[in-house]
Every structure is written in C-alpha cells, then in structure tokens.
Chains A and B, each alone.
Chain A
Amino acid sequence: MTDTTPPLPEKARAAEGPWATAWRRLKRDRAALAALAVLLVILAACLAAPLYATYVSGTNPFATNLNGTITVDGKSRDVLEASTEGLGLGLTPIGPTWQLGPYMLGADNQGRDVAARLLYGGRNSLFIAGAAAVLCLVVATFVGVVAGFFGGLVDTVLSRILDVLWAFPIFLLAISLSIVLISQPLLIGPFEIRSGSLALPIVIIGVVYIPYVARPIRNHVITLMKSEFVTAAVGLGASPWRILWVDILPNVVTRIIVFVPLMLALNMIIESALSFLSIGVQPPDASWGTIIQDGQGLLYSRPAVALAPGIAIAVTVLALNIFGDGVRDALDPKSTVRIG
C-alpha cells in the first residue's frame, strides 16, 4: 500500500468528448435511428435511379411514349388507354400495375414511367435541398461568426443586411427572378444563372434562409464572447484569432450541425413548391414538385401520379425532422432550434 494516488475510476469514459457523448445519446434514440435508416434508403433509391430505369422498368423516364404498349398479366395494354370515364373521350394514362417492371406506379400524361421519374426526381429534389443547405449554412456561419465576433459596426452592418434578406418573400422573389432571367441571365462572378437552371432555386432558397441561421449563430457567438472562458483566454494572452479558432468555432459547430437536417427538410418543401411553379427543374427533367404538377390534371383518374411524389416528400421531410430532433437532443440538449 505505498501507492497514494489511486487511479481514477471510470477509465472507460475518460476520453469521451462532446462528440462521443452526442453519438452515444443518438444511438439510444430509436426514432432518430429509424428516421436515419429511412433517409438512407430514400437516398440510395434515388441514387440507383438509372439502375432502376435500365434493369427494372426498362423505360425511358424522359421520353414521351404516347403509342407504346406493355404486357400486364399476359395481356397487352396501351400506355395511354382510351378513357372509360364520362363521355369516354380522350386518353387516360395507364394506372399503377403494382408489379416490379414497367409502369409500376403508372404513367403520366406523356406516357412516362412515374416510378422511374420519381427516383430521378428525388435526385434533383435532394440535390437542390442539399446544395441550398450547404450554401446557406456556409454563408450564414461566416456572417454570424464575423458579426458576433467583431461586433460594433461590422455587426450592425451585417445585421441590417440580414434584415433586408429577411424581408424578401421567397416565392415572389423566385417567380420574378425566373421571369426576369429569361431575357437576361444573372451573372455572379464566374457563375451564370439562367432562367431554367438548377442554380436558381438553389441560390434563392440558400440566400433567403441565411438570416434564419445567421441570427442564432451570431447570438450564440456573442454569448460565447461574453463567457468567462473567453475572458479567461484573453487574460492568459490568447490572440483574437486563437480565441476564434479554439474557443468560439468549436462551440458553434455543434449548433451548425443541428441546423443541417432541419434546413434540409425546409428546403425540400420549398424546392417542391418552386418546382410546382415551374421554377428550377425544367421538363423533361423531373423533381418531386414537377411530378406533382404533372399529376394535378390526373388527380381524379390517376391520383397515384401526384400522390407518389407527395408521399415521398412527406416521408422525407418527416424523417429529416425526426432525425434533426434526435441530432439536436444529442448535440445541444438545451437549445430550442426551430426553423421557419
């Protein structure tokens, strides 16, 4: 018994930092894990869209197919059948076959395979939502941290710019820009934004939501700047940059991560709405919003065309929100981050 310094108990937890703690909490959150699994399945399915079109459905989701026929249950059927409803005028696209193969979810007005379009459309929807979220978070983090860190005049100017952005009604801005850009593409440095390009919804969504993220980050940075550990760091001779990198940013990062799933969910909805208004994804390309638009005329005869992307959006957004709540509870239990 000569050793007077007994080893500390709980050695296994000794190295557990904030990240490990958050991961441990997240692992216990079954709802969040289930939501994550759903999201991964949706993502994988959308990424596998070309495989589906080639090997499963064997249809070209971007070409009209007005005179095609397929074989269902041994019988040959037209993709666009003569209407049996009402006066029997016009054509009705084939309904869901509910079998793996061509036209599993039926066809739209142009005779295109809705299931294949759904997967391709998911790619565009997810891409636009993701890119807008990245754009928004990068700019918002930069603005929020700079405003909070430097304070004073810098803060005032940046905050007023955020106020201006806040004032933009997103749909009116999108509609007017998309019309204006038809005649004159917008040039931002080396980037050219044309009326029908994907960059339009990305930039609009990304920019308009900057204040929603930048403000809480700015407030958080201001709180951190007034915290005792920052004063202590200054008192120990840490330079401003050192304080920014060592004391401020690592504390802000968790809050930024909490925003990611919530931003994605919000962006999904806005993107669908913009696509529905024909802003962004242009035919024959698809996104979930454009497929809903395709399906609105078929709502009575072939509701699956509009319902399928609608359900896809609902499930994705729900999963993102559940996962986002889980991430927030794991990383930043005390915060009450909400967007929108």
Chain B
Amino acid sequence: MPAEPLLEVSGLTVSFRTEDGLVEAVRGISFAIAPGEIMGLVGESGSGKSQTLLALMGLITSPNAVLSGSVRFRGQELVGLGRRALDRIRGRDMAMIFQDPMTALTPVHTVGAQIVEQIRAHERISPRAARARAVELISAVGIPAPADVAGRYPHQLSGGMRQRAVIAMALSCNPALLIADEPTTALDVTVQAQILELIGRLRDEFGSAVILVTHDLGVVAEIADTVRVMYAGKVVEEGSKRDLFTAPQHPYAWGLFASIPPLEGARPARLSAIPGTPPRLSALPAGCAFRPRCAHAHAACAAMPALTGEGGHRAACVLSPARRAELLAAGEARS
C-alpha cells in the first residue's frame, strides 16, 4: 500500500441529540484509503454506513447532529470546514453517488442540463463545451444514443439509465474519491453488473479511489480490494477481500456469510440468519454491541474489544485467534 493515504478518517463519531439523549450513529471509526483503492463497507441497515458517508462529504446538516473526529482528504481537514471551501472540494475532488436514482435527479431539468450545471459549477468552460462533455460522459457510462438521452428528463429514463446518469454526473470532474452509497441496490442484476464494471473501469482509467457501501456481499466480492464490516456504528472487522472471504474473524461476519445461500450442495431447509435484530442505537449494550446476538459471547465481551490482528486483517473480538480458527473449521460462516 502506498504510504500517502488519499483519505484518512480517525475517530469519526456522528451522534444525534434525541429525546432519549445523545444517540451515536457512528461510534469512532478510523480507516485510511489509498489512491485507486476500492473499499467495500458492509453491514446491516442502521449500522451507520450511510451516516459515515454523509459525514465524509460534510452532508450532515441536521442541527441536532454532533460530529467529532477527523477526516483528512489529501492532508486537508474536512470536519469543521466552511461551506465555500467544502463546495470547492465536493463534486470536483470527491463525489457521491446516491442510493436511489429515482430521487437523486431534479425532476424539472433535463439530464444533460444537470450534468452541464455540475461541470460549470467547478470549471470555467463554455456551455457548448460543457454540453459536449456531458454527452461524452453519458456515452462513457454506457448509455446508447447519449445526445438523445441528454435532452430527456429524469422521468423519461429507466432506473438503470438514471443511475448511470447520476454516476456520469459524479464522474464529470474525474474525482479522486468516489463515494457510492448502495449504487446498485435499486437496480436489477444485469444493470448492477454493468454499473460495477463501470466503477471498476473508473478506477483503472482515472486512478480514483472508491468507497462502496452495500449490504450485498456479492457486490463486494466482485470489485472491492478491501472490506470493512460495520456493526452498530463501529468497524468490527477489516481486511483485504481475500482475507475476509476466506477467513472471516468476527462472529458477526460469520453470520453475514452464513446467511448467503450456498451455490453448491444440498439446499438448506432454512436459510441461516443471525438471531435477533440490530440493537437500538439509543440502548446499546455495554461492551461488544453484538454480544446479545452472538453464539460465542461470554463474560469478557462486557468490555469493548479493540481491533486486533495481523497483516491488516483485524477484528474486534475477544475470541483468541486459535479459538476462531477452530470455530471456523467447525463450520461457522457456512450455512
């Protein structure tokens, strides 16, 4: 891994003032991303993935949100940066793709006009040149008849086309960091594959780093380099894709893998699921948040374990590596 990270997050905490007191959605997460790295961020709904992304982009505007920790992009601190300074970075150096392509485009302007708007917000360029660039971008994301599509309104495009238009918009300034919040969740499988391929190509051609949030492990397996698993606002396991998929260390990750139906062999009568539901963020158990649902919980779990491990593959679990290997061999993480 190159020494200089593109994005360095340390101790990022996002909490919200609510009637139940301060509720922490993201509880002090730290990670770094190198240029050109594709990081998959997985976890259940409500595990703090989306809030993490929004915090990275400075998009948490709720007056009840409290942000702490540090987000350094190319060495520049983003937390607490003013709107103007942020606007110069957002869209040009880092861009975000939103989950729902149905709502991420303004309904009253054509797709082309919105991309032109985005380009001209960051570059001094004539409308004509911007228009040509927009058509080029639409074509680059694999939409046929790009000039025609540029003149259409969002409601005239299919979900897949819209998502690609959103991606074209995010790519318009060749951002060094692309943040994608479940970019394929709303799409069908064939379009999903095309979008993933597109994101992979972006990395190859422009050297962009990508943070890909998803709850689909298949998507992660397809394109991610590194994976981080989030649970209840914390990273519970991190490592390379190979490490995670061949030898997951955290019982929560085991649960995740076990809940994928097997491709070969006998079909299980019931798909295994992690028992229980994710804890309410306002009433987190002390220590490891996964403890109430964990089959291997014991007294030591009452204190939150730190991320430990070797060679960049780290997990936050009190089980000893030997015990984990034992359990893994015994068929955990398999349904």
Residue on B nearest A11 in the bound complex, by CB: B148
Say if the beta carbon of B109 comes within 8 Å of chain A.
Answer: yes
Q: How far is the CB of A302 from chain B (nearest CB, A)?
A: 54
How far is A149 from B207 in the complex, measured between Cα atoms in Å?
A: 37
How far is A66 from B266 in the complex, measured between Cα atoms in Å?
A: 107
Say if the beta carbon of A235 comes within 8 Å of chain B.
Answer: yes
Report yes or no: A18 in contact with B107, Cβ–Cβ below 8 A.
yes
How far is A17 from B153 in the complex, measured between Cα atoms in Å?
A: 7
Report yes or no: B151 in contact with A250, Cβ–Cβ below 8 A.
no
Residue on A nearest B62 in the bound complex, by CB: A226
Q: How far is the CB of A19 from chain B (nearest CB, A)?
A: 9
Contact with A along B173-187 (1 / 0, CB 8 A): 000000000000000
Contact of A239 among B121, B148, B153 (CB under 8 A): B121
How far is A11 from B149 in the complex, measured between Cα atoms in Å?
A: 10
Report yes or no: A238 in contact with B87, Cβ–Cβ below 8 A.
yes
Say if the beta carbon of A187 comes within 8 Å of chain B.
Answer: no
Q: How far is the CB of A26 from chain B (nearest CB, A)?
A: 17
Contact of B156 among A14, A228, A229, A234 (CB under 8 A): A14
How far is A293 from B143 in the complex, measured between Cα atoms in Å?
A: 68
Q: Report B-chain residues with C-beta under 8 Å of the C-beta of A250.
A: 106, 108-109
Say if the beta carbon of B152 comes within 8 Å of chain A.
Answer: yes
Report yes or no: B108 in contact with A236, Cβ–Cβ below 8 A.
no
Contact of A236 among B103, B118, B151 (CB under 8 A): B118
Report yes or no: B144 in contact with A8, Cβ–Cβ below 8 A.
yes
Contact of A238 among B63, B121, B153, B156 (CB under 8 A): B121
Report yes or no: B145 in contact with A228, Cβ–Cβ below 8 A.
no
Contact with A along B316-328 (1 / 0, CB 8 A): 0000000000000
Report yes or no: B83 in contact with A240, Cβ–Cβ below 8 A.
yes
Contact of B117 among A5, A16, A240, A242 (CB under 8 A): A242
Residue on B nearest A236 in the bound complex, by CB: B91
How far is A18 from B87 in the complex, measured between Cα atoms in Å?
A: 29
Provided the pairs A229-B106, A234-B59, A246-B109 are in contact, do residues A5 and B145 lie with their beta carbons within 8 angstroms?
A: yes
Q: Report A-chain residues with C-beta under 8 Å of the C-beta of B144.
A: 5-6, 8
Contact of B57 among A8, A16, A227, A235 (CB under 8 A): A235
Contact with A along B76-102 (1 / 0, CB 8 A): 000000011011111110011011100
Report yes or no: A237 in contact with B96, Cβ–Cβ below 8 A.
no
Report yes or no: B103 in contact with A228, Cβ–Cβ below 8 A.
yes
Q: Report A-chain residues with C-beta under 8 Å of the C-beta of B103.
A: 227-229
How far is A28 from B96 in the complex, measured between Cα atoms in Å?
A: 41
Say if the beta carbon of A64 comes within 8 Å of chain B.
Answer: no
Chain A, range 2-23, C-beta contacts under 8 Å to B: 5-8, 11, 13-18
Q: Report A-chain residues with C-beta under 8 Å of the C-beta of B149.
A: 8
How far is A338 from B82 in the complex, measured between Cα atoms in Å?
A: 41
Say if the beta carbon of A188 comes within 8 Å of chain B.
Answer: no
Contact of A246 among B86, B117, B153 (CB under 8 A): B117
Report yes or no: A237 in contact with B89, Cβ–Cβ below 8 A.
yes
Say if the beta carbon of A69 comes within 8 Å of chain B.
Answer: no
B interface bracket (residues with beta carbon within 8 Å of A)? 35 or more
Report yes or no: A235 in contact with B153, Cβ–Cβ below 8 A.
no
Chain B, range 110-124, C-beta contacts under 8 Å to A: 110, 117-118, 121-122
Q: Report B-chain residues with C-beta under 8 Å of the C-beta of A227.
A: 103
Report yes or no: A251 in contact with B106, Cβ–Cβ below 8 A.
yes
Chain A, range 206-241, C-beta contacts under 8 Å to B: 227-229, 231-240
Report yes or no: A8 in contact with B148, Cβ–Cβ below 8 A.
yes
Contact of A152 among B63, B88, B104, B148 (CB under 8 A): B63
Provided the pairs A227-B103, A247-B106 are in contact, do residues A236 and B121 lie with their beta carbons within 8 angstroms?
A: yes
Say if the beta carbon of B135 comes within 8 Å of chain A.
Answer: no
Report yes or no: B104 in contact with A228, Cβ–Cβ below 8 A.
yes
Q: Report B-chain residues with C-beta under 8 Å of the C-beta of A234.
A: 59, 61, 90
How far is A8 from B95 in the complex, measured between Cα atoms in Å?
A: 30
Say if the beta carbon of B236 comes within 8 Å of chain A.
Answer: no
Report yes or no: B151 in contact with A237, Cβ–Cβ below 8 A.
no
How far is A228 from B50 in the complex, measured between Cα atoms in Å?
A: 13
Q: How far is the CB of B151 from chain A (nearest CB, A)?
A: 6
Q: How far is the CB of A20 from chain B (nearest CB, A)?
A: 10
Say if the beta carbon of B169 comes within 8 Å of chain A.
Answer: yes
Report yes or no: A7 in contact with B121, Cβ–Cβ below 8 A.
no
Q: Report B-chain residues with C-beta under 8 Å of the C-beta of A14.
A: 148, 151-152, 156
Q: How far is the CB of B325 from chain A (nearest CB, A)?
A: 42
Say if the beta carbon of B105 comes within 8 Å of chain A.
Answer: yes
How far is A238 from B106 in the complex, measured between Cα atoms in Å?
A: 13
Q: Report A-chain residues with C-beta under 8 Å of the C-beta of B106.
A: 229, 233, 246-247, 250-251
Q: Report B-chain residues with C-beta under 8 Å of the C-beta of A246.
A: 106, 109, 117
Report yes or no: B92 in contact with A237, Cβ–Cβ below 8 A.
yes
Report yes or no: B121 in contact with A237, Cβ–Cβ below 8 A.
yes
Report yes or no: B166 in contact with A237, Cβ–Cβ below 8 A.
no
How far is A9 from B145 in the complex, measured between Cα atoms in Å?
A: 11
How far is A82 from B250 in the complex, measured between Cα atoms in Å?
A: 107
Of the A-B pairs whose beta carbons lie under 8 Å apart in the complex, a sample of 13, sorted by A's number, is A16-B156, A18-B108, A18-B153, A229-B104, A232-B166, A236-B95, A236-B121, A236-B169, A237-B89, A238-B118, A242-B121, A247-B106, A251-B106
Instruction: Please list the residues of chain B having a beta carbon within 8 angstroms of any beta carbon in chain A.
Output: 57, 59, 61, 63, 83-84, 86-92, 95-96, 98-100, 103-110, 117-118, 121-122, 144-145, 148-149, 151-153, 156, 166, 169-170
* Nearest 3 pairs of A and B residues by beta carbon: A237-B91, A236-B91, A237-B90
Give 7 new A-B contacts, CB below 8 A, not counting A237-B92, A238-B87: A7-B145, A14-B148, A17-B153, A234-B61, A236-B91, A242-B117, A246-B117
